[in-house]
Chain A
Amino acid sequence: MEKSATLDKKFQLSEEGLAFVKKEMNRYETKRSAILPCLYRVQKENGGWVSPGAVSYLSQVMDIPEAQINEVLLFYTMYNKRPVGKLHIQVCCNLSCAMNGSRELVDHLCNNFHVKEGEKSTDDMVTISRVECLGACDIAPMAQVNETYIGPLKKETVVDQIKGLLKQD
């Protein structure tokens, strides 16, 4: 099978990244438990997503079959299998947030940032997606922007709020 992204093959962890992987491989009772934390690290150093090339690379570094790494990668939703924008805005659309208008917020945000749900904006700045309950219904409707929770969100202010966050980083 032809491998698509040639660029991926070039992915390498930083020196600190490699030290992290080594440490994680000794942290738990078995090496395999280190796959989840190491995938997070790869994602962080690969601009927010895990590319096929990065999986091959991690497989070599950890000496764990690619299939075992892919099994984890594909099962869990927090690993992005496609590139995401600088801000990954994940709007909760489960019950309490939905009741409080979160689904309308997703449409509103997509329209304002000219981006389709789940896709990266052309300027690479944002990705807006719907996610399941994030366990913060006390601030519904809410979203997770990269690692931070924001809410309760208001239609009138949410676009400016995101623009403010874009300027910050």
Chain B
Amino acid sequence: MEHRLLSEHYYKEGHSSLAGYKSLGGYETLHKVLDKTPEEVVCIVKDSGLRGRGGAGFPTGVKWGFLPNNSEPRYLLCNADEGEPCTFKDRLIMEKAPHQLIEGMLISAWGIKSHKSYIYIRGEYQNCIRIMEKAIRSAYDEGYLGKNVCGRDFHHDMDIYVGAGAYICGEETGMISSLEGKKGQPKLKPPFPAVRGYLDKPTIVNNVETLAAVVVILRDGVEAFRSIGTEKSPGTKFFSVSGCVRTPGNYEVPLAYPLMDLIELAGGLREGRKLKAVIPGGSSAPVLTAKECEKARMDFESLAELGSMLGSGSVIVMDDSCSMVDMLSVIEQFYHHESCGQCTPCREGTGWLSKVVDDILKGQGRIHDLSLIQGIAENMMGKTICALSDAAALPAISFVTKFRDEFEQHIRKTLVQKKEEGLSA
């Protein structure tokens, strides 16, 4: 069953309007929070153990703690670029609960003493952009934004920035480059954005779901939040389940929820189909075999133990109708397309991976291409400014090692076919 902590009111009529949100207790937490000191707020978020919901799972409170202790202006940047293939949870939050996001951002802004925030929304999400623009306007009208938030001595301005189609802008420093009006190329870290970010000023970049979760943490308290999930992965998480399931969609469940139960929540597999594999955390996460899925639990630690990752929480389900060669070629084509081109191992490596896998798919593969893929991928990891290169390498390695038989069979089968064609020609 779902555990609707953040999404308790998502499917109620009117919840996306300010009046509707307020009638269901919205913005009450913000009022309460403004009685606390910013330091207390940071402390609560730290104690809650909340981990970033965008992909890396870094503890949010710890990230906030990296801000320098000075009076420099600091920015809050909400990451609503949602580019990780098959992730669509932030779209749900913005469409169903724009004010929950705004409230979460205001609470966070109070905590980190920021007077200006941006929501960076991917350009394709036109519907979200319209909804968020309207929500921000009404929040200004009702005194939740601008001068004297809730009649208190706190000023905060919020604006939207619209991306223009680049996966890499979901990486926080790439996003900052983009917000500065440049191509979205990531920057070398350190310095981290918390020290030197947007326009070289301290900047905190948090994912939409992370910021929405801040509201329930401050509303219910640390203990209540920690009672859900596990010690190291507390709380609930939205999972975008898609692919070969009957009712693809977003499902909010406690962290450490069994993967097989999550697939059942999404309607299970189609009639007569068998589970083949699942990518548990967006296309950059290593793939799990059907056998591994049986024991997989959806939290940061459990998936790391299985050699994969929770990532953005997009669960891509593949049944026995899927060709793993085909699926890997889709993945590698994507990373090749999205590499920003700054670092050689990524720019060249993604191109080679895509080309070699595509050759195999088209029947021009050789058995030793499999070790070639492995070799290219290994040389792409840990050698670049950002993690895109690793994101392309990890699935390649996991696909060809875990499904080596299928890759070999595909290569042999197409070799035989070609020989036969050659003979008959």
CB B93 to nearest CB in A, in angstroms, measures: 12
Whether A135 contacts B164 in the complex (CB less than 8 A), given A30-B199, A72-B183, A75-B183, comes out as: no
Most chain B beta carbons < 10 A, residue from A31, A34, A72, A93: A72
| A71 close to B164 (CB less than 8 A) | no
Whether A137 contacts B242 in the complex (CB less than 8 A), given A27-B159, A32-B182, A95-B331, comes out as: yes
Q: Which stretch of B36-44, B84-92, B212-220 is in the interface?
A: B84-92
Q: Residues 38-81 of chain A: 1 if any B CB is under 8 Å from the residue's CB, otherwise 0?
A: 01100000000000000000000000000010011011111100
Q: Which residues of chain A from 135 to 167 have a CB within 8 Å of any chain B CB?
A: 135-138, 140, 144, 147-149
| B184 close to A137 (CB less than 8 A) | no
| B127 close to A32 (CB less than 8 A) | no
User: Who on chain B is nearest to A136 by CB?
Assistant: B88
CB A27 to nearest CB in B, in angstroms, measures: 7
| B162 close to A36 (CB less than 8 A) | yes
Q: Which of A72, A76, A96 contacts B242 (CB 8 A)?
A: A96
Residues in A whose Cβ lies below 8 Å from that of B164: 36, 39-40, 72, 76-79
Q: Which of A72, A133, A135, A148 contacts B181 (CB 8 A)?
A: A72
User: Who on chain A is nearest to B334 by CB?
Assistant: A132
The answer for the CA separation of A34 and B162 in the assembled complex, in Å, is 11
- Tell me if B165 is interfacial: C-beta within 8 Å of chain A: yes
Q: Residues 69-108 of chain A: 1 if any B CB is under 8 Å from the residue's CB, otherwise 0?
A: 0011011111100000000000001111011100000000
The answer for the CA separation of A96 and B279 in the assembled complex, in Å, is 11
Residues in B whose Cβ lies below 8 Å from that of A78: 123-124, 163-165
CB B417 to nearest CB in A, in angstroms, measures: 21
Residues in A whose Cβ lies below 8 Å from that of B86: 94-96, 133, 137
Q: Count contacts between A and B, CB distance < 8 Å.
A: 135
| B316 close to A95 (CB less than 8 A) | yes
- Tell me if B364 is interfacial: C-beta within 8 Å of chain A: no
User: Who on chain B is nearest to A64 by CB?
Assistant: B181
CB B41 to nearest CB in A, in angstroms, measures: 25
Residues in B whose Cβ lies below 8 Å from that of A144: 124
Whether A137 contacts B248 in the complex (CB less than 8 A), given A93-B330, A94-B334, A96-B243, comes out as: yes
- Tell me if B108 is interfacial: C-beta within 8 Å of chain A: no
Most chain B beta carbons < 10 A, residue from A78, A93, A135, A144: A135
Residues in A whose Cβ lies below 8 Å from that of B318: 99
Which size class do A's interface residues fall under?
35 or more
| A99 close to B183 (CB less than 8 A) | no
Whether A148 contacts B91 in the complex (CB less than 8 A), given A75-B184, A76-B164, A132-B338, comes out as: no
| B122 close to A148 (CB less than 8 A) | no
CB A60 to nearest CB in B, in angstroms, measures: 17
- Tell me if A29 is interfacial: C-beta within 8 Å of chain B: yes
The answer for the CA separation of A28 and B199 in the assembled complex, in Å, is 11
Q: Residues 6-28 of chain A: 1 if any B CB is under 8 Å from the residue's CB, otherwise 0?
A: 00000000000000000000011
- Tell me if B416 is interfacial: C-beta within 8 Å of chain A: no
| A29 close to B199 (CB less than 8 A) | yes
| B182 close to A72 (CB less than 8 A) | yes
The answer for the CA separation of A134 and B316 in the assembled complex, in Å, is 15
Q: Which residues of chain B from 156 to 184 have a CB within 8 Å of any chain A CB?
A: 159, 161-167, 178-184
| B316 close to A135 (CB less than 8 A) | no
A residues adjacent to B (C-beta < 8 A):
27-37, 39-40, 68, 71-72, 74-79, 93-96, 98-100, 132-138, 140, 144, 147-149
Name 9 extra pairs, CB < 8 A, besides A75-B340, A78-B123, A137-B88.
Answer: A32-B181, A33-B179, A76-B165, A76-B183, A77-B164, A96-B85, A133-B83, A133-B86, A137-B248
Shortest 7 CB-CB contacts between residues of A and residues of B? A137-B242, A76-B164, A32-B181, A75-B183, A77-B165, A78-B165, A96-B242
A-B contact pairs, 14 of them (CB 8 A): A30-B180, A34-B181, A36-B162, A36-B164, A40-B162, A76-B166, A77-B165, A78-B123, A94-B330, A96-B243, A133-B84, A133-B87, A136-B88, A138-B248
